[in-house]
Structure 1
């Protein structure tokens, strides 16, 4: 599979190749370097290279230090042109809340090496939650869930009526069984005030101990839910059995029955 180039990438490639040749090199450097999925202690990296099936050295360090760490003998990806086709390089054990610089050098099959090409600096962060949602909202309880890119993080949940100034909190919430937030095992809040609008927010606490900024969820309003699936059964000449479901556990109900002509209304509580 041949690499695809834009006009800009061809111009940059020509510069790197001709510069290398002017210095007696015959090994082209990497280009289109990128960093992504940056978490508190890890990040992913990718790049292209015109030299097929080359190897690479990746060096990185905090911007405040002088010594580089390195990852050597990195093989090309499946198509042989760098590490960009879904086979990114992941660095782990990085320092949280730290700005890093990084660079890549090509080691060609003829044994020659390119000069280092620098990627854009990045900063490790504790990521906030994503897609916070509320579910099964009842008169005094609600279920809340969210996702998170940081595996096995803990969370702090804060909530309050929109008219209040003081937040209540639930701390040290563990990730669910998959480890990415609480979207598989939702968190249930109880003892809420009926018919009240609440606001809530989530803060990620990464394994490093560093917290993220709080991410708000959409406001919800506690309410007494209506019944669901009402049905009649065993209908006889003077009697009938009635049933229904309700999400509110141990609630009481009022049943009203009227004649077809609307003459009589009977009520049971």
Structure 2
């Protein structure tokens, strides 16, 4: 029997047709039968979002309702059921939207027809699956930029999800990945500070949501681009300001960066630019020599960092200044006549510093002062004061015809003129005549030469030079003093003083080759002994010897009394 109505209870009967018009009676069947409720077919899923999906199917029954069930796949959880009431016929496609489901999750679903209350078809043989979307982050921004860090911000995503940031130098081929865990929901901004960046460099970044293991959202459509700060340098000043050149000094900036220095005369408009390539770190001092400067001109200068990407910092501003000194000062006919590249020299007087050519920082005051000097850093004061040797350094000659022949030396006066130098006196009588105290500091010494001169002889005095408690050299006689009575030998005559028996003294001498209490020759050679202490122990031995003599005298007197 075909073309029956689905989900309908039928009664049926049968009779025999023996000949046309001749039949038996109908026999009523013992059982009725019910046609089945048709199972839906052709399942599809579309319009999937992060928390919803539209499912659809064909077939079913005319005017039937439908029960849709769904759950997360492979969880054995109970099915969630929803009912669709529709007047659509068999051939029309039926649609149902599942809502309020979990983002980034794989669901399975099935459907069956409800032909009448309590009368349903079977569910589709195998559940169909779909995966909800993982919400894509949005509103990506970057702030709090420094030379080594930046804060990355984004909106959206999913509640309780984690995130995966990709970051790279713009133009690079590979990304660095940074995982981010957060408890913030999709309606809150998420933030992450990334560090270890390079100053003055263009970076790009993107982020995606990690809903569950292995399930990600899409990345935002285009990576966000930002540039880290290229730190400006910190000017420190200038050094080696000599002649037409100077070294400008700064620190800060960026490790391994280049630098551009601009300088100009104060009041002028155009800058001159000089560059420096450096491998130094940010905290190390950088130097650049500026040449071709004009003597006497005040210059201002500024510097900026050129980071490795070619992105520069701002200039530091033209607050740093320096003035190029006048190179040399010569006054007098022939003074400094042969100077060429030497700088920082002063020569005043006819023919002063006449032979200088390339030497620096010399001073010559007086007619022909420093006439033959050709080396740097020397001073000559007085007519014809000069150097006796070439290549001297830090040599000074002061006085008429004074001559110096050694480096790091000061000569006062002409050695052939019996020059007398006075300190604190107006009419010196000796080569060095001092009124006052000569103070020798640190390792200063006072040396007497020619002490082996046979013409020197003692003058019969018992006085000698010594140093008092203030460090002053004074004339004195030898004198012993003690701080307390225990340092002297009077204790020998105390009643409880133990006087060694002579036999014990004899054994000690045989064993040690010196008296008890007296240092040995080796000890004196090694350590020495104070004069006061030596006098005290010698006096002790004399006093002990006196006691021994008294004992001997007493024994003699006693023996003589017995003999009598």
Normalising by the residue count of structure 2, what TM-score does the alignment of the two structures yield? 0.26
Q: Which has the higher contact order (CA 8 A, sep 6+)?
A: 1
Normalising by the residue count of structure 1, what TM-score does the alignment of the two structures yield? 0.47
The structure in which a higher percent of residues are helix is 2
